[in-house]
Structure 1
Amino acid sequence: MSAFHKASLAAGVAFAALLAQPGQAETVKMTAFAGHPPVFPWVKLMDEYFIPEVDKRLAAAGGKTKIEWTRAYGGTLVKLGSESTALKDGLGEVGFVSTIFEAPKFPLQNITYYTPFGTDNISTVAKVITTLQDKIPEMKDAWTKNNAVFLGGTGLDTYYLFTKNPINKVEDLNGLKINAPGPSANWVKDTGAIAVAGTLQTYYNDIQTGVTSGTLTFSTGAFPAKVYEVAPHITKVNYGAQFGGALAMNRKVLNKLPKDAQKVFLDVGKDYAEKFNALLTGTSGALMGKMAEAGAKIRDVSADERKKWAAAIPNPALPWAQDLDSKGLPGTKVLKAYMAEMKANGVEYPRDWSKE
């Protein structure tokens, strides 16, 4: 080998070594997405807390990994109900998956919607679902099958009834069309009301145009969607806080990151969930006050009346559990475990959905 070639080889090796110097940051492009716009708190906190906190902790860990973020909210990348598909196909790296709108893929996570009239404690509901996912493999598998990693689960503040006209007793629902998404349609079954599908993005127009007379929804969704403007009568039935979805990440993308960077995403995901559920608890009460100031008429429901409402509907949990059992999923196991965990957390139901 000539001296020239040796010198060239040495220069190339030195250049390569320079590029591979330890401490040099690796920039990873990621898209954070959600079907809902950032006006809703689960997306807002994702944008204003999760992303900057990940950046902050990665920098504090030495800055070896840097994220170049693209934000795609409000259906700009994927429509509501298709978020897990976007994660699975790699269209985005971090997304909010609304499990209520993806029930076929996350049937066991929807247990809360089949056990209404529970607690209005959002943190308790999210905590119990997260606990069950750690204990019951089939629940965790739902995320794995979608090439996703569960980062942090979120609850939705308790559902109330928003209607054009006052509802003074359960019998007043007879003949009314009510927007009730997915399994929440069971909450008005046999009351004489007709459940109509919809989302926070359709309720206002549905009620305003007379397609429906009201909706079952929660304060932190109803306020930004301005539902109270067209349905100013709020009946605080307290159907219970629900598990609404989770922040999740593409599994392959997470696994390719250095271990310290993986830990940052997982840790911030847990903190996001805790902050979100605490935020929602405080926010829901404040927003109820703002709706009252704007003219909404709010009626409380007594424990005895609530028990009557619960008794009016057929048990939605047992058929749900039995159907999943027939499909090879542990529906009954999850139902019993959920009710037991809720009881252990001090929650009392007007009916035990697992024993009837």
Structure 2
Amino acid sequence: MMKKFKPALLVALLGLFGASAANAENIRLRIASGHAAVNTYVNLMQNFFVPEVTKRVAARTQHKVEFVEGYGGSMVKLADTLEGVQSGLIDIGGLCFCFEASNLPLNAFQVMLPFGTMNSETSVKLARAVYDKVPALSKVFEDKFNQQLIALISDNGYNIGTTFEWNNISELKGKKIAGAGLNLKWLEYAGVTPVQSTLQDGYTSLQTGVYSGWVMFPSAWVNFKFHEVAKNYTEVGFGAITWHGLTINKNRMARLPKDVQAIIIEVAKEYEAKTGTVNQENYAKQIAQLKTLGVNVKSVPESVKLEWANSLKDWPQAMASDLDARGMPGSLVLKTTLEEAEKMGHKWPVRYVIK
């Protein structure tokens, strides 16, 4: 025989279930990047971060998340992603600090120490170790730009692709070679003519002779089809650089249910690690692919790498001093990076000295 609920108990239970249903939210998040999904980190935003957050929120909470995605500049341009998240135009953004030289000068610190590790997985772990030791690197996003840095993003290792074959630095002097942000200094100090550019402009610019090469990782040479117009790819070993990030608007994050916040942070941490592992796995595959596509792939001898590193030996100190003078912990960050890299087994061709 079914027991009868007392009226007061029935009202309480109905109230409980009603409150639960009322607390469930349908959440819409706008996620974007100025780079297209052909970029590894954007591809992982689209095919890992978005589906994993969506799936885990559905499985572990009473809420539902729907992402509105905009890549390749459809919502924000390359140099406007930081401001897009800051203003709330988008909720989550993937950006390169290379386009924020005035806003985030310190966050490009790995670029200031060329010839670092070529292992993308190590690079992102190294960056995370430095961020953990120097909180100012993360706090700048919150204090100045109304957003929270939830993941660091590594690239492939940087080398040089060109329309011509070369064997030593003297053959590059006076040539116009493209780059982005501070990696242009790698060229300038070696006597090469640097040209600021973007990946979207690369194919046409190489084809028409606006410049004759790019400081670039192999994934771009494959994915953006630069190999069709520049048939030489030289492994110089400038380093795999972690100088991108994934951020979320602080106000939007604060309005999300706590369990959804926790899932976003959880997935972002996994996403961060994946940018390292996927780029590292892809590097050898992409080098091999370039060879099958008819590209002349070779490595410079250690003597060339040493000569290039020596041309840059005073630049890290100059960068550290400039950042210190502007009220940022430049020397601390670069010293910490040098030391943490060595703890991870890296040997610098020239050991930069930061006073």
TM-score, normalized by length of structure 2? Answer: 0.92
Alignment of 1:264-343 (within 5 A): 264-313=263-312, 315-343=314-342
Give secondary structure in 1 for the equivalent of 2:244: strand
**Superposition deviation, residue 235 in structure 1:** 1.1
Does the Cα contact within 8 Å between 1:179 and 1:212 map onto a contact in 2? yes
User: Per the alignment, do residues 24 and 233 of structure 1 end up closer, same or farther by CA in structure 2, a change over 3 Å counting?
Assistant: same
Normalization by structure 1: what TM-score? Answer: 0.91
C-alpha distance after superposition, 1:319-351 (max 9, x if no partner): 111111111111111111111111111111111
Q: Structure 2 CA distance, aligned partners of 1:56 and 1:77? A: 24
Instruction: Please tell me the residue identity of whatever aligns with 1:61.
Output: R
Q: Does 2:207 correspond to 1:208?
A: yes
Residue equivalent to 1:6: none
In the TM superposition, residue 16 of structure 1 has moved relative to its aligned partner by 9.0
Query: Structure 1, residues 239-273: CA drift from partner, whole Å, max 9, x if none?
Result: 11001311111111112222211110000000011
Aligned to 1:8: none
Distance 1:124 1:21 in 2: 44
Contact 1:109 / 1:129 at 8 angstroms: preserved in 2? Answer: no
Contact 1:53/1:268 (8 A) holds in 2: yes
Check the 8 A contact 2:84/2:90 in 1, yes or no. yes
Deviation at 1:96, TM superposition (A): 0.4
Q: How many percent identity over aligned positions?
A: 30
**Partner of residue 115, structure 2:** 117
2:189 paired with 1:196: no
* Aligned residue type for 1:248: T
Deviation at 1:189, TM superposition (A): 2.0
Take 1:82 and 1:347, find their aligned partners in 2: how far apart are those partners?
A: 35
Deviation at 1:102? 1.3
Asked if 1:83 corresponds to 2:81, the answer is yes
Q: Is the 8 A contact 1:189 1:314 kept in 2?
A: no
Does the CA contact (< 8 Å) of 1:339 and 1:354 recur in 2?
A: no
- 1:265-320 Cα offsets, whole Å, 9 max, x none, are 00000001112211111112111111111110011123233112211345321111
| Corresponding position of 2:222 | 223
CA distance in 1 between counterparts of 2:323 and 2:16 reads 57
SS of the residue 1:31 aligns to? strand
Q: Which moved more, 1:145-154 or 1:326-335?
A: 145-154
1:45 is the counterpart of 2:44: yes
CA distance in 1, matches of 2:154, 2:42: 13
Residue number in structure 2 paired with 1:348: 347
Aligned equivalent of 1:137, options 135, 138, 152: 135
Mapped partners of 1:275, 1:313: distance in 2? 31
Q: Could you tell me which residue of structure 2 aligns to residue 98 of structure 1?
A: 96
Asked if structure 1 preserves the Cα contact closer than 8 Å seen for 2:234 and 2:297, the reply is: yes
Determine helix, strand or coil for the equivalent of 2:238. Answer: coil
What RMSD, in angstroms, separates the aligned Cα atoms of the two structures? Answer: 2.0
What is the alpha-carbon distance in structure 1 between the residues aligned to residue 90 and residue 189 of structure 2? Answer: 42
Secondary structure of 1:109 counterpart: helix
- Map of 1:163 onto structure 2: 162
Q: Tell me the CA shift for residue 30 of structure 1.
A: 1.0
Cα contact 1:335–1:354 (8 A) shared by 2: no
Aligned to 2:9: none
Contact 2:313 2:350 in 1 (8 A): no
Report how far residue 208 of structure 1 moved.
0.9
Per-residue CA deviation, residues 29-82 of structure 1 (Å, 9 max, x unaligned), is 1111010111111111111111110011112213x2211211111101110021
Asked whether the 8 Å contact 2:35–2:73 carries over to 1, the reply is: yes
- Tell me what 1:7 maps to: none
2:320, 2:331 within 8 Å by CA — same for their partners in 1?
yes
AA matched with 1:100:
C
Partner Cα distance (1:155, 1:20) in 2: 43
Corresponding residue SS for 1:175 = coil
> Separation in 1 of the partners of 2:50 and 2:32?
11
Q: Secondary structure at the match of 2:145?
A: coil
**1:129 shift after superposition:** 1.6
Residues 159-205 of structure 1 deviation map (CA, whole Å, 9 limit, x = unaligned): 11111111111111112011021111111224331000101111211
> Helix, strand or coil: the match of 1:161?
strand
Report the CA distance between 1:19 and its aligned residue: 5.3
> In 2, are the aligned partners of 1:235 and 1:298 still within 8 Å (CA)?
yes
How far apart are the structure 2 equivalents of 1:79 and 1:353?
35
Q: Which runs of 5+ in 2 are unaligned?
A: 1-12
Q: How many residues align?
A: 343
Instruction: Indicate conservation of the 8 Å contact 1:200/1:222, yes or no.
Output: no
Give the letter aligned to residue 205 of structure 2. Answer: D
Unmatched segments (≥5 aa) in structure 1: 1-13
Distance 2:47 2:18 in 1: 34
Deviating 4+ runs (over 6 angstroms):
14-18
Measure the CA separation in 2 of the matches of 1:147 and 1:274: 24
Helix, strand or coil for the counterpart of 1:153?
strand
